[in-house]
């Protein structure tokens, strides 16, 4: 057995994971959280726990392809370099672009950026991190003169007040949430305030929830700045000695938030609750304000970030234990991307396009030409593809055909572009479907390098499986293309260690000398030997002469990276979201993550247990809004914006505000016919950061009319795509499809039988039930050994049998006579298991099982449920739901 220590593939928490490779041939592994990793201290969430199920070779891209034909690597590299070269020769460097990803390792990212900015000579390289945290970057730079995250996770445990704003931490950064929760359990006087238009799972630990109107955080924090000033809660000495621009910022804050009542009106909150929040903030020195996509993904995201930072600067609460503004990043290496200049408006090593920075980087790289101005950010970059100005785009490890707003336009742009190069480890994504050239890359567990988490902590991602078939590392592919373009000498890297050393060296190059001092400095790591790099322990940058072992908190010396060394207050005139509702689109659509899926599901959907918590894309709506429109819970609804439409299942819940809807961001065209949120989301961006306003799109909602509804479960995948509504859910021993059709329901059974006949092993015995009057149809096919092979249930509406009972029959071996009768009856008459939707993903415990146990065994606490069913005893992500079940019982 081989044991390897690595870092999780998913969110910006950056949890350490200990892997035991049981069988490298079958790619079988076990894993657990690394006890000694400072980010997670042994914890993992449901997604991290299920990583072992995602390392198989199903749906992997294994060979290079050009125009749909498998080719040798050499030919693929020649083709990529040849196309880039001829386009650049004819149309100039800005006619090509790279679109990269926070999933890339820092070493991959470094060479991609070096090639585009330093050698091709264009800054048209942007990253999907533009969509999740570029407003934080811009806000940091405006306030601190550098993109610096001041604090660390330990501050959350040391604080007396934690404000979670625009962050469903419980689902999106679960291990950070678990740390806060544990700290609160130990020290109940640690108070938590959640600021969010929705009542999310995070509210489970909230002492106060400010359910403000969508996008109005700027008013709330401007009002807070004014309150702090009026209530004598400022740290006047800090403001005077270490900051600049306070009076102007205060004046602007007062203009948009002159008093609590005006804040209440703008935010749609009670004046009393705002006053209570302000008083709490003013009185609590040890305050951390955590923010995430709810702040960043806004047409005024950068202003909101600065409105928060202003309040921390005004009280001097920064650079100290248990104090500071704290941006949580979405992706595993969004921070690493920032360090190497993965955003179009940055140069490498936290340098900008200032003339001295351009000169410094060019001298360091000894490059023939270097981009001398920022390139196109993600949204304008794809617009330039649509307009034909960008004639070749190389997309690395991301799925913009799903994740970008106004995604239908992105799909059309990529369809029309003749040179779409995609490097990915997954064969079938919405973006690989549009590629002219496909380059197979290694994935998590096969790659080696570093990632940086939200608290500036650099950790190693280590390889524990060999690269399958012809898959190669991203950095190797980029260096080979650079070599073919004639830049071989500058890209003569033989390992991630080589690249890391250069990256570390650049971070210290002319840093602290005559030029501008830079925050990102890991020069103490530039001389690591290969074996020291292999053994590198997690460390928080800077790592330099002053901080050879890294640095937990920045700004402890109250010095910032502006020319004066003082932090800037930024005057904010708070604004409501740019896109207002209108009679055609009267609802506000908010988007976000669910607990057990990640981004566009290309990895998490491979883990059966992660697909059971929430099986279909859904739309949350307030009960009164649903009643007004006569919409029913669980019916299919069509959501439309001026960009496109999608169809999802309605979920009526008090957690949603009136006039607001919420739809998750994950489903794409591989898993749902009509569930891609990007088709509907508006492409309005923040003017400073270029980040899209994914949290606020005016939409309409109406019933989606279908003749019939149904579901199918089959041991083998079916070509179910023919139906007008379908969602695919992969289980351990079956494929489950939710379907709905517009044609006559009678057409489905013969079509289904035909499909089954074409599949080996589905030629056995059939059971069928047809009630033409009620339009109810059921059918099942068995193998010769009497095992269930496939089953369908159809009806005139969405009131269909429980899926958990049917799915469990696929694990039951040979079915009994009573099982067969149950299938025909559409109900487990013989008392079969009706476990309901999976709530605890770690131990596969369903909602019905939990509710029944609470009732029958009188379980009154989370511990009691854990003792009885194990639910909630591993990652703890399901505990907020368990609490709801207890209270509703």
Binding residues (CB under 6 A) for ligand SF4: these are 8, 10-11, 13-15, 40, 44-45, 47-48, 173-175
Distance of CA 62 to the CA centre of its chain: 25
CA distances from 585 to 16, 588, 662, 701, 780 (A): 45, 8, 15, 8, 43
What token pair was written down for 677? 């949120």
Do 101 and 126 contact (CB within 8 A), yes or no? no
Which lies closer to ligand SF4 via its Cβ, residue 153 or residue 353? 153
Nearest-approach distance from CB 135 to ligand SF4, in angstroms: 21
Which lies closer to ligand SF4 via its Cβ, residue 47 or residue 695? 47
Rounded Cα–Cα distance for residues 298 and 748 (Å): 44
Do 39 and 14 contact (CB within 8 A), yes or no? yes
Nearest-approach distance from CB 538 to ligand SF4, in angstroms: 12
Which lies closer to ligand SF4 via its Cβ, residue 178 or residue 244? 178
Whether a cis peptide bond, with omega within 30° of 0, leads into 880 is no
* Cβ-closest position to ligand SF4: 48
Nearest-approach distance from CB 8 to ligand SF4, in angstroms: 3
Nearest-approach distance from CB 449 to ligand SF4, in angstroms: 16
CA distances from 40 to 176, 209, 257, 457 (A): 8, 26, 39, 12
Nearest-approach distance from CB 424 to ligand SF4, in angstroms: 20
Rounded Cα–Cα distance for residues 854 and 861 (Å): 9
Which lies closer to ligand SF4 via its Cβ, residue 174 or residue 836? 174
Rounded Cα–Cα distance for residues 39 and 279 (Å): 32
Rounded Cα–Cα distance for residues 800 and 533 (Å): 56
Residues 846, 852, 857, 861: what is their CA dihedral angle, to the nearest 10 degrees?
60
Nearest-approach distance from CB 48 to ligand SF4, in angstroms: 2
Nearest-approach distance from CB 286 to ligand SF4, in angstroms: 24
Which lies closer to ligand SF4 via its Cβ, residue 201 or residue 800? 201
Task: Report the chain's terminal Cα–Cα distance, integer Å.
Answer: 47
Pairing of strands 645-652, 618-621: parallel
Nearest-approach distance from CB 348 to ligand SF4, in angstroms: 26
What token pair was written down for 458? 């650099």
Do 173 and 44 contact (CB within 8 A), yes or no? no
Nearest-approach distance from CB 7 to ligand SF4, in angstroms: 7
Which lies closer to ligand SF4 via its Cβ, residue 6 or residue 656? 6
User: 795 by DSSP, 3-state: which?
Assistant: strand
Nearest-approach distance from CB 497 to ligand SF4, in angstroms: 24
Which lies closer to ligand SF4 via its Cβ, residue 7 or residue 124? 7
Which lies closer to ligand SF4 via its Cβ, residue 287 or residue 403? 403
**Beta carbons within 10 angstroms of residue 416's beta carbon:** 13
Which lies closer to ligand SF4 via its Cβ, residue 174 or residue 445? 174
Nearest-approach distance from CB 174 to ligand SF4, in angstroms: 5
Rounded Cα–Cα distance for residues 6 and 489 (Å): 31
The residues that bridge with 735 in the sheet, in sequence order, are: 714, 730
Burial classification of residue 634, based on how many CB atoms lie within 10 Å of its CB (0-12 exposed, 13-18 middle, 19 or more buried): middle
Nearest Cα to Cα of residue 523 among 512, 535, 537, 538: 512
Which lies closer to ligand SF4 via its Cβ, residue 51 or residue 647? 51
Which lies closer to ligand SF4 via its Cβ, residue 579 or residue 841? 841
Nearest-approach distance from CB 289 to ligand SF4, in angstroms: 20
Distance of CA 721 to the CA centre of its chain: 27
Rounded Cα–Cα distance for residues 316 and 310 (Å): 10
Do 340 and 328 contact (CB within 8 A), yes or no? no
What token pair was written down for 7? 């870092």
Which lies closer to ligand SF4 via its Cβ, residue 40 or residue 694? 40
Phi, psi of 125 (to 5 degrees): -125, 120
User: 688 by DSSP, 3-state: which?
Assistant: coil
Q: Find where tokens 């993904």 sit.
A: 297
Which lies closer to ligand SF4 via its Cβ, residue 336 or residue 341? 336
Nearest-approach distance from CB 44 to ligand SF4, in angstroms: 4
Rounded Cα–Cα distance for residues 697 and 703 (Å): 19
């Amino acid at each position: 057995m081989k044991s390897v220590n690595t870092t999780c593939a998913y969110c910006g928490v950056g949890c350490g994971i200990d892997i035991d490779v049981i069988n490298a041939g079958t790619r079988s592994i076990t894993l657990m959280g690394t006890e000694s990793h400072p980010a997670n201290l042994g914890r993992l969430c449901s997604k991290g726990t299920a990583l072992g199920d995602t390392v198989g070779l199903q749906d992997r891209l294994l060979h290079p392809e050009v125009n749909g034909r498998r080719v040798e690597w050499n030919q693929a590299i020649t083709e990529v370099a040849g196309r880039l070269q001829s386009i650049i020769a004819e149309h100039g460097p800005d006619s090509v672009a790279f679109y990269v990803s926070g999933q890339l390792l820092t070493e991959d990212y470094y060479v991609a950026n070096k090639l585009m900015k330093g050698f091709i000579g264009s800054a048209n390289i942007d990253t999907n991190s533009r969509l999740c945290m570029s407003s934080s970057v811009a806000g940091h730079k405006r306030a601190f003169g550098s993109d610096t995250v001041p604090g660390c996770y330990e501050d959350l445990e040391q604080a007396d007040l934690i404000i979670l704003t625009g962050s469903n931490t419980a689902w999106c950064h679960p291990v950070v949430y678990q740390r806060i929760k544990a700290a609160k359990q130990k020290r109940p006087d640690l108070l938590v305030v959640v600021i969010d238009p929705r009542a999310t799972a995070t509210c489970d630990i909230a002492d106060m929830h400010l359910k403000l109107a969508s996008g109005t955080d700027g008013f709330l924090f401007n009002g807070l700045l004014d309150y702090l000033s009026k209530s004598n809660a400022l740290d006047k000495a800090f403001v005077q000695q270490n900051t600049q621009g306070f009076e102007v910022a205060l004046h602007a804050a007062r203009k948009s938030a002159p008093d609590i009542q005006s804040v209440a009106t703008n935010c749609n909150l009670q004046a009393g609750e705002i006053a209570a929040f302000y008083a709490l903030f003013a009185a609590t020195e040890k305050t951390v304000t955590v923010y995430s996509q709810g702040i960043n993904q806004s047409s005024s995201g950068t202003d909101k970030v600065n409105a928060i930072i202003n309040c921390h600067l005004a009280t001097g609460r920064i650079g100290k234990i248990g104090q500071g503004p704290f941006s949580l990043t979405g992706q595993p290496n969004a921070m690493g991307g920032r360090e190497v200049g993965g955003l179009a408006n940055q140069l490498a090593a936290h340098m900008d396009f200032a003339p001295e920075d351009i000169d410094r980087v060019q001298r360091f790289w000894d490059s023939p030409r270097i981009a001398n101005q920022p390139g196109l950010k993600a949204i304008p970059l794809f617009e330039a593809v649509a307009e034909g100005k960008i004639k070749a785009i190389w997309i690395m490890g991301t799925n913009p055909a799903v994740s970008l707003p106004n995604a239908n336009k992105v799909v059309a742009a990529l369809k029309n572009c003749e040179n779409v190069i995609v490097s990915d480890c997954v064969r079938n994504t919405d973006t690989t479907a549009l590629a002219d050239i496909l380059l197979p890359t290694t994935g998590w567990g096969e790659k080696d390098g570093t990632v940086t988490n939200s608290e500036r902590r650099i950790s190693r991602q280590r390889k524990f499986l060999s690269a399958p078939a012809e898959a190669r590392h991203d950095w190797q592919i980029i260096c080979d293309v650079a070599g073919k373009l004639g830049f071989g000498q500058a890209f003569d890297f033989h390992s991630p260690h080589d690249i890391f050393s250069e990256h570390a060296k650049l971070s210290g190059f002319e840093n602290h000398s005559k030029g501008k001092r830079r925050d990102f400095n890991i020069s103490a790591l530039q001389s690591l030997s290969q074996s020291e790099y292999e053994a590198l322990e997690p460390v928080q940058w800077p790592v330099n002469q002053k901080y050879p072992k890294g640095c937990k908190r920045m700004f402890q010396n109250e010095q910032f990276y502006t020319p004066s060394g003082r932090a800037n207050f930024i005057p904010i005139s708070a604004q409501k979201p740019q896109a207002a509702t209108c009679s055609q689109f009267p609802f506000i659509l908010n988007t976000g993550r669910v607990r057990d899926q990640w981004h566009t599901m290309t990895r998490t959907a491979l883990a059966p247990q992660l697909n059971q918590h929430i099986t279909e894309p859904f739309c949350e709506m307030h009960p009164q809004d649903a009643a007004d429109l006569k919409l029913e819970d669980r019916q299919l609804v069509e959501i439309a914006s001026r960009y496109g439409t999608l169809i999802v299942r309605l979920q009526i819940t008090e957690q949603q505000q009136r006039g607001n809807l919420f739809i998750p961001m994950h489903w794409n065209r591989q898993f749902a016919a009509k569930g891609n949120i990007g088709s509907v989301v508006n492409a309005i961006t923040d003017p400073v950061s270029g980040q899209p306003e994914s949290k606020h799109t005016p939409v309409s909602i109406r019933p989606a009319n279908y003749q019939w509804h149904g579901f199918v479960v089959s041991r083998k995948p079916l070509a179910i795509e023919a139906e007008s509504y379908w969602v695919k859910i992969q289980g351990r021993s079956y494929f489950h499809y939710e379907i709905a059709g517009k044609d006559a329901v009678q057409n489905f059974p013969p079509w289904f039988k035909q499909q089954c006949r074409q599949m080996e092993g589905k030629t056995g015995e059939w059971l069928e039930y047809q009630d033409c009057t009620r339009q109810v149809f059921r059918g099942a096919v068995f193998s010769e050994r009497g095992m269930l092979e496939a089953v369908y249930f159809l009806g005139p509406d969405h009131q269909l049998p429980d899926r958990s009972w049917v799915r469990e029959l696929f694990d039951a071996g040979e079915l009994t006579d009573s099982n067969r009768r149950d299938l025909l009856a559409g109900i487990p008459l013989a008392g079969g298991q009706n476990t309901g939707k999976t709530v605890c993903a770690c131990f596969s415990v369903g909602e019905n099982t939990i509710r029944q146990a609470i009732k029958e065994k009188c379980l009154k606490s989370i511990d009691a449920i854990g003792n009885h069913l194990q639910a909630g005893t591993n990652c703890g992500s399901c505990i907020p739901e368990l609490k709801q079940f207890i209270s509703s019982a």
